[in-house]
Amino acid sequence: MLNIVLFGPPGAGKGTQSEKLIDKYNLKHISTGDLFRWHTKNDTELGKKVKEIMNSGNLVSDDITIAMLKEEVEKYPEASGFLFDGFPRTVAQAESLDKLMNSLDSAIHGVIELQVTEEEVRTRIAKRKAIDNRPDDEEEKLNKRISEYFDKTVHVLPFYKDQQRLETVNGIGDIDSISQEVFKIVDSL
Q: Summarize as ranges the residues that interact with ligand AMP (CB under 6 A).
A: 10, 32-33, 36, 53-54, 57-60, 65, 86-87, 89, 93, 145
Comparing every residue's Cβ against ligand AMP, the nearest one is 33
Taking the least distance from each CB to ligand AMP, the nearer of 78 and 125 is 125
Q: Least separation, in Å, of the C-beta of 122 and ligand AMP?
A: 15
User: CB of 182: closest distance to ligand AMP in angstroms?
Assistant: 18
State the minimum distance, in angstroms, from the CB of residue 188 to ligand AMP.
Answer: 26
Decide whether 156 or 177 has the Cβ nearer to ligand AMP: 156
Contact predicate 113/8, CB 8 Å = yes
Within 10 Å of residue 75's Cβ, how many Cβ atoms? 9
Q: Using CA atoms, how far apart are residues 106 and 177, in angstroms rounded to an integer?
A: 30
- Residue 165 half-sphere exposure, CB side, CA atoms within 13 Å? 18
Least distance in angstroms from the C-beta of 166 to ligand AMP: 17
Question: Smallest Cα–Cα separation from 13: which of 102, 87, 116?
Answer: 116
Which residues, in sequence order, are CB contacts of 164 under 8 Å at separation 6+? none
Nearer to ligand AMP, 142 or 180 (CB): 142
Q: Residue 48 or 184: which CB sits closer to ligand AMP?
A: 48
Cα angle value 152/12/5 (rounded, 5°): 65
